[in-house]
Amino acid sequence: MIASSPMQKRGAQHERWLSLVEHINRKVVGQPEAAKRYARAILAGEMGLTRKGRPRSFLIKLGPTGTGKTSMTVAASELLYGTDAIIRLNMAEFQEKRDLARLLGENRNDNGYLGDELDRLRKAGGHMLLVDEIEKAHKDIANVFLGMEGATVTMANGKTYYLDDIHCIVTSNLGSADAMEMGNLPYALVAEHIEQEAMTHFRPEVWARFTDKIVFRGLTYRVQEQIARDMLTDEARFQSARLGREIVIGDGVFRFIVAQGFHETLGARPMRNTVEYHVRAGIVEKILECLAEKGIELPKDWESEESQALLKAIVQTLPGSKLRLELVGQELKIRTE
Ligand SMILES: Nc1ncnc2c1ncn2[C@@H]1O[C@H](COP(=O)(O)OP(=O)(O)OP(=O)(O)O)[C@@H](O)[C@H]1O
Ligand SMILES: [Mg+2]
């Protein structure tokens, strides 16, 4: 008998390849063109169609904040290689020249953060290196990634890593200032405009090195509505499992969340916070009510399994079968039914 590995659980390779576009479109709403382009670029690398001695792919994702650039990278990596089999570098944490030593190591005994992460990636069976917000990096640090001509990187301890089996995904907001006003224009026009704007920030030889440029558009009201619906359903499902009791979403909740969470320029970022805050606040109030009524003594280590079981037991004492999330004034409250 063949032992089941995480690989097998994620389905056969060809199934993962075939479902990649659909998978990322489900996770990242309203970016069908970017999803298709991204999936094709990644699969070209996976199938060995890209040049030897270079990274499997070397892509830049452009577009306004909160539109799915990071999430799409993570979603694809999860499907292809499994959870956490990805290196995520946020360049906002590498803005100073001295951060270079943290990245590549300080001395002969130091493999650096990147070296350690590459070791972890190999062990996890992943092939994706995400370099987020490249414009924030110190220029020497940006050059480690942008200058990856030979697909190698050497750490302070002398250890060289070959990156020819790696997809290097760079993301940036450069050139995206006008993206929201272009909300209803055809994708090709938006993409061309953002690419033109962004390329002025890079040296021409660096710009030419990207095997593909993938533009994300600003998120319209309609798209943000769909995202709100998905997030609300997800959060209710997550909390239902946590509490051991089904949570249904009552009338008015969805409209309230969309009205609170829609944002012109910040994309879907505020929506996630809005959903999480209001749903959780409603649950917190209900639990506090239960605790006050019953005077239950809680253990100190609230994270333990027993505590979580106790939480479920407290919720079980509520009458009815379902918990209904309802809008009361400007707050979400839990009603039992
Ligand atoms: N198109 C989308 N569909 C669904 N969720 C989205 C979408 N865009 C963003 N989100 C949600 O918004 C949050 C931020 O998304 P993400 O980090 O992917 O944005 P980004 O484009 O990388 O932004 P930044 O330019 O600031 O790095 C995440 O919680 C993500 O789930
Ligand atoms: Mg991002």
Tens of pLDDT, residue by residue over 206-237, are 999 999 999 999 999 999 999 999 999 999 99
Dihedral sign from CA coordinates of 84, 148, 112, 136: negative
Q: Say yes or no: do domains 6-215 and 221-336 share a fold.
A: no
Per-residue confidence (pLDDT) for residue 10, from 0 to 100:
62
Encode burial over 146-179: b for 16+ CB neighbours within 10 A, e otherwise.
bebeebebebbeeeebebeebbbbbbbbbbbeeb
The pair phi, psi for residue 176, each rounded to 5°, is: -105, 10
Confidence of residue 239 (pLDDT cuts 50, 70, 90): very high
Q: Which two tokens stand for residue 264?
A: 């012109």
| pLDDT at position 300 over 80 | no
Confidence of residue 9 (pLDDT cuts 50, 70, 90): low
Domain limits, the chain? 6-215, 221-336
Dihedral sign from CA coordinates of 79, 220, 272, 171: positive
Per-residue confidence (pLDDT) for residue 326, from 0 to 100:
95
How far does residue 195's CA lie from ligand 1's centre (Å)? 20
Tens of pLDDT, residue by residue over 191-201, are 999 999 999 99
| pLDDT at position 7 over 80 | no
How far does residue 268's CA lie from ligand 2's centre (Å)? 11
Q: Which atom of ligand 1 is nearest to the CA of 230?
A: 4
Pick the CATH number of 221-336 from 3.40.50.150, 1.10.8.60, 3.30.70.100, 3.40.50.10680: 1.10.8.60
Confidence of residue 1 (pLDDT cuts 50, 70, 90): very low
| pLDDT at position 6 over 60 | no
| pLDDT at position 92 over 70 | yes
Confidence of residue 81 (pLDDT cuts 50, 70, 90): very high
Per-residue confidence (pLDDT) for residue 181, from 0 to 100:
78
CB-based neighbours (< 5 A) of ligand 2, an ion? 69-70, 132
Q: Is 61 in the pocket of ligand 1 (CB under 6 A)?
A: no
Mean pLDDT value across residues 92-116: 96
Q: Is 28 in the pocket of ligand 1 (CB under 6 A)?
A: yes
Nearest ligand for residue 68 CA: 1
Q: Hey, whose CA ends up nearest to atom 24 of ligand 1?
A: 65
| pLDDT at position 270 over 80 | yes
Instruction: Give the angle subtended at the CA of 101 by the CAs of 99 and 107, to the nearest 5°.
Output: 160
Tens of pLDDT, residue by residue over 26-53, are 999 999 999 999 999 999 999 999 888 8
Q: What is the dihedral of CA 107, 110, 115, 119, to 10 degrees?
A: 160
Per-residue confidence (pLDDT) for residue 292, from 0 to 100:
85
Nearest ligand for residue 28 CA: 1
How far does residue 319's CA lie from ligand 1's centre (Å)? 38
Per-residue confidence (pLDDT) for residue 267, from 0 to 100:
93
| pLDDT at position 309 over 90 | no
Q: Is 70 in the pocket of ligand 1 (CB under 6 A)?
A: yes
Q: Which of 28, 29, 60, 67 to mutate to test the pocket of ligand 1 (most atoms within 8 A of CB)?
A: 67
Q: Is 30 in the pocket of ligand 1 (CB under 6 A)?
A: yes
Tens of pLDDT, residue by residue over 130-172, are 999 999 999 999 999 998 767 899 999 999 999 999 999 999 9
- CATH fold of 6-215 reads Rossmann fold (3.40.50)
| pLDDT at position 5 over 80 | no
Measured between alpha carbons, how far is 243 from 318 in angstroms, rounded to an integer? 11
Q: Which of 24, 38, 70 to mutate to test the pocket of ligand 1 (most atoms within 8 A of CB)?
A: 70
Per-residue confidence (pLDDT) for residue 311, from 0 to 100:
85
Measured between alpha carbons, how far is 107 from 158 in angstroms, rounded to an integer? 9
When comparing pLDDT for 286 and 306, which is higher?
A: 286
Q: Which atom of ligand 1 is nearest to the CA of 227?
A: 4
**For a pLDDT cut of 90, what percent of the chain falls above it?**
75
- According to DSSP H, which parts of 178-304 are helical? 187-199, 204-209, 221-243, 253-261, 269-294
> Are 212 and 54 spatial neighbours (Cβ–Cβ below 8 Å)?
no
| pLDDT at position 298 over 90 | no
Nearest ligand for residue 67 CA: 1
| pLDDT at position 2 over 60 | no
